[in-house]
Amino acid sequence: MNRAPGTGSPAVAEAARFASEVRGRAAAWDREGGLPAGVLKEAAAAGLLGAGIPERFGGQGVTPAELGEICAHLGGVCSALRGLVTVQGMVAAALHRWGTGEQRARWLPALAGGELTAGFAATEEAAGSALSAVRTRIEDAGDGEHVTVTGHKKWITFGQVAQVLLVLGQDKGKPAAVVVEADREGVSREPVGGQLGMRAAQIAHIGLDAVRVPRTNLVAPSGLGLSHVAGTALDHGRFTVAWGCVGMAEACVEDATAHAAARTQGGEALAGHQSVRALLAKAAVETAGARELARRAAEFRSGGAPGSVTETIVAKYAAAAAAASASSTAVQVLGSAGCEPDSRAGRHFRDAKVMEIIEGAQQVAELHIAEQLMRRHAGRGPAPASPAAEVRA
């Protein structure tokens, strides 16, 4: 399927060039479990880390549609690289949206230029989909100027290298968000390796042992750390993950089709078999559908339309499913070549499964999407008395 128009912006062209240049290195990053430090610098120099940050803070100020295309190019090559752009963008989006003028001026230019790498430290052992259950404590340090942050964060993307962490915790029982610089005393990192996917994303569990940070690092008033600060970060994350999945699915359709056309068995090309063509057609249509939903989410976002949160969830849901399906097809069509070490299709297959879990598992997205349906079609009244009433309505 052809890429949509509007891909001619310089920022998107630069991302395409970068993606094609590093394409051959992504398998080694996956095998070795990380992006070399030089790649982070190259990505920063290419402007990828600050793509979505406004120009007045040193970013490129691209539109949502352009940011989407950038993530599709990167996702088609390496989900960990796309994840780097996602995480940096999530933290920047939250700080831009809910930071004070002073906080924006302090962190956004450094995030845009890549002098600082960000981590989003929300999830914990007992708080995955249900982030309101986080137990990390943000407490008054007693001097009026500092707070201490204590807790244990799990599965933090680029947590091995992040220099600033946006941490979600509880302040006297209210959800609160705080920026913790990773070089402060009491921050420890436990690298995670060998997990199913996103192996180059330098994931870490992060310990916070009474880490003392200035009160000026608190982002937004207590009580709004989850709904507003983390909410904005996750909304941004879902958008870039959706587009990364679109790119991954497109790459899988291309690889599977090229292989099916070139590979012969018993004197016939694989593509000569109806069953193989059916696999390719199904994957291509799911992928094209996901692209259109991602494009629609970009339109909602650029207009600031109230439905943008939901449209983004719909796009992420469809795109993660398309990536999982197309990558499964690609491995199937490639056969042993899809299973061998360093197989691109195999890597996408593992990464795509992770995409069905992070930034809101598919089942959580379904709950929200169905709730939107209820708003439109189920009428209203007093809160429903029982689940059965909801089903009937």
State yes or no: residue 380 binds another protein (CB under 8 A): yes
CA dist 89 and 87 (Å) reads 5
Closest approach, Cβ 379 to another protein, in A, equals 8
Nearest to 123 by CA among 306, 314, 358, 346: 358
State yes or no: residue 378 binds another protein (CB under 8 A): yes
Closest approach, Cβ 304 to another protein, in A, equals 5
Nearest to 195 by CA among 155, 233, 222: 155
Q: Which is nearer to another protein, 47 or 225 (CB)?
A: 225
Closest approach, Cβ 100 to another protein, in A, equals 6
State yes or no: residue 46 binds another protein (CB under 8 A): no
Closest approach, Cβ 221 to another protein, in A, equals 6
Site for another protein in 73-112 (CB under 8 A): 98-100
CB 52 within 8 A of CB 88: no
State yes or no: residue 264 binds another protein (CB under 8 A): no
Instruction: Write out the E strands in 131-276.
Output: 137-140, 146-156, 164-171, 174-181, 187-191, 204-214, 218-219, 264-265, 268-269
Closest approach, Cβ 86 to another protein, in A, equals 18
Closest approach, Cβ 288 to another protein, in A, equals 28
Closest approach, Cβ 212 to another protein, in A, equals 23
Closest approach, Cβ 88 to another protein, in A, equals 20
CA dist 297 and 307 (Å) reads 9
Q: Which is nearer to another protein, 218 or 251 (CB)?
A: 218
CA dist 5 and 285 (Å) reads 18
Nearest to 30 by CA among 38, 42, 22, 18: 22
Q: Which is nearer to another protein, 282 or 375 (CB)?
A: 375
State yes or no: residue 361 binds another protein (CB under 8 A): no
Site for another protein in 267-326 (CB under 8 A): 303-306, 308-310
Q: Which is nearer to another protein, 122 or 354 (CB)?
A: 122
Q: Which residue has the tokens 């696999």?
A: 279
Q: Which is nearer to another protein, 57 or 158 (CB)?
A: 57
State yes or no: residue 382 binds another protein (CB under 8 A): yes
CA dist 194 and 212 (Å) reads 32
CA dist 249 and 321 (Å) reads 9
CB 50 within 8 A of CB 35: no
Closest approach, Cβ 371 to another protein, in A, equals 8
Closest approach, Cβ 235 to another protein, in A, equals 6
Pick from 132, 195, 264, 363: which binds another protein (CB under 8 A)? 132
Pick from 183, 336, 383, 392: which binds another protein (CB under 8 A)? 383
CA dist 247 and 344 (Å) reads 13
Q: Which is nearer to another protein, 141 or 224 (CB)?
A: 224
CA dist 356 and 154 (Å) reads 18
- Strand-pairing partners, residue 213, are 147
Q: Which is nearer to another protein, 242 or 253 (CB)?
A: 242
Give per-residue burial for 371-381: e unless 16+ CB within 10 Å, then b. Answer: eeeeeeeeeee
Count interface residues toward another protein (CB under 8 A).
Answer: 33
State yes or no: residue 23 binds another protein (CB under 8 A): no
Nearest to 262 by CA among 150, 341, 337: 337
Q: Which is nearer to another protein, 318 or 323 (CB)?
A: 318
Q: Which is nearer to another protein, 104 or 344 (CB)?
A: 104
Closest approach, Cβ 245 to another protein, in A, equals 20
Q: Which residue has the tokens 């920026």?
A: 179
DSSP 204: E
Phi-psi region of 180 (alpha: psi -120 to 50; beta: other; left: phi over 0): beta
CA dist 271 and 250 (Å) reads 18
Q: Which is nearer to another protein, 191 or 303 (CB)?
A: 303
Binding mask 210-239 for another protein (x = CB under 8 A): ---------xxx-xx-xxx--xx--x----
Residue ranges binding another protein (CB under 8 A): 98-100, 131-132, 219-221, 223-224, 226-228, 231-232, 235, 303-306, 308-310, 368, 374-375, 378-384
